[in-house]
Amino acid sequence: MEKQESQILLETENYVIWNKKAGEICESWTNKSENPKDLYIPSILDALKENEGDNKKNDTDEVVFECVNRLDRPVSGVVLVATNSKAFAMLTNVLNNKEETLKEYWAVVSGIIPSQKEYQLLSDFIYFDSKKRKSFIVDGPKNKAKSAKLMWKSLGAGDRYSFLSVKLITGRTHQIRAQLANKGYYIKGDVKYGSRRSDTLDGIRLHAAIMEFFDPFTKKELHIEAPLWTVDPLWQAYFEAYKADKIG
């Protein structure tokens, strides 16, 4: 995948598929809200304003953006954003169907993990502490902890880092970051979850790269890829391992 230029990957009447940059806040927003729009998905608002043309809404019409899936602030990648309440409900139902939905993330983690042929299940119970703004892995379903499951495998490694492909089964707050860290696999740049230092790029080395889901409006399967915003030698090494895994 080459460097991405536009944040709008797909725009329809009912939703926008957005390539989020690291550092942007992924929250729902409405022009009737008291929250300033520059804190909430500003890139979508700006891009749609440029593209609206003859379809410009009346200033009195309510503009709604509901993030159907959400990414942590330091994470980049594909986000599905509904542009009306009905679409939000329908798309939420679609993404909750794990058998028909794929959410694949790319992660660069510290340490050397040999390449693997098959994905492995990682299953834990996770608790999000709202005061500490951090998730913790616990022994069982206590203290409002929820089941957290993902599939992961190593695509290979360089001299210091390993390249993981992660497929989410559940969608808990900070799930990938917390589960990998609990296993001793610290995402590069993720100081909150054990990385020794910040990354040289913005955010952390976790990217929501691919989403597949059933479009309830067109009745078609969609495959969406969100290219990276910056491709440095480390991400290039990831790509080489990714291509080798697909071939082999």
155-186 pLDDT, tens digit per residue, is: 999 999 999 999 999 999 999 999 999 999 99
Residue extents of the structural domains in the chain: 8-247
Region of 133 on the Ramachandran plot (φ > 0 left; ψ -120 to 50 alpha; else beta): left
Answer whether 214's CB lies under 8 Å from 169's CB: no
Q: Please state, for a pLDDT cut of 70, what percent of the chain lies above it.
A: 83
- Top pLDDT among 155 and 98 is at 155
Task: Quickly list DSSP for 179-204.
Answer: HHHHTT-PBTT-GGGT-SS--SSSS-
Provide the CB-side half-sphere exposure for 133 (13 A, CA): 3
Mean pLDDT of 120-135: 95
Using the structure block, give the residue that is written with the tokens 């009306």.
84
**pLDDT for 32:** 60
Q: How distant, in Å, are the alpha carbons of 106, 116, 137 from that of 153?
A: 10, 6, 20
Instruction: Look at residues 210, 103, 232, 229 and name the one whose alpha carbon lies nearest to residue 158.
Output: 232
CATH architecture for residues 8-247: 2-Layer Sandwich (3.30)
